[in-house]
Amino acid sequence: MNFPTLKKWLFICVLLVGVFGLGGCGENIDNDLRVRKVKGAVESALSPGYGTCGRCGRPWNRVEEHTTWFQEDPSEPSSKNDSDLTIFVLDMGCFPLCEECWGELTPKERLPYYRELFNEWTLEAIRDGYEAPPKKQWESIRAAVLAGK
C-alpha cells in the first residue's frame, strides 16, 4: 500500500472512530473520550509496536498507564521476616487502562478491561505453548481492581 492510500485509510478510520466511536466494554462515551479515541487512532498508527489503553486506544508511549498491583499468588504472604531482614514476595502489575480512563471509571466499571487483558494473556500463553495463568491469579487481579488499586 503506498503512502497516499495509507493516509486516506487512516483518515477514514479516524473519521469513523470520531463519529461513531463506541465505548469499550459496552459503555456510552462522552465528547472527551471521543476526542481521546480519535487521538488514539492517529497515535496508534504513528506508534507501531506499542500496546494501547483498552478504553481510549491511546498508545503507551503517549499516555501514562495506571498500573494495578496484585499479588501473584494470593495464598502467599506479601512479605515475611527473616530475622532482621524483610524479604518481599514480588507482586505483579498490569495496566489495561491509562490514568485518565482509570480515573473516570468506578472499580466495577474497570473490571471488564482487566478481564479482557487477562483473557488475552491466557490466549497468548496457550497459543505459545505455555500453561494458562492460574484462575487464582484472576481472582487476585479482580480483588485488587475492586479494592480501587
- Show which of 63, 78, 106 is a domain's final residue: 63
Tens of pLDDT, residue by residue over 114-137, are: 999 999 999 999 999 998 888 888
Same domain, residue pair 52 and 91 = no
Cα–Cα distance for residue pair 91/63, rounded to 1 Å: 23
- Show which of 10, 29, 63 is a domain's final residue: 63
Q: Which residue has the higher pLDDT, 148 or 72?
A: 148
Same domain, residue pair 105 and 40 = no
> What pLDDT was estimated at residue 105?
95
Question: ∠51-24-136 over CA atoms, to 5°?
Answer: 70
Tens of pLDDT, residue by residue over 8-62, are: 666 666 555 555 554 455 555 688 899 999 999 999 999 999 999 999 999 999 9
Number of Cβ within 10 Å of residue 44's Cβ equals 19
The range of the structural domain enclosing residue 79 comes to: 65-149
Predicted TM-score (pTM) of this structure? 0.70
Q: Which helix (H) or strand (E) holds 121?
A: helix 107-127
> What pLDDT was estimated at residue 9?
63
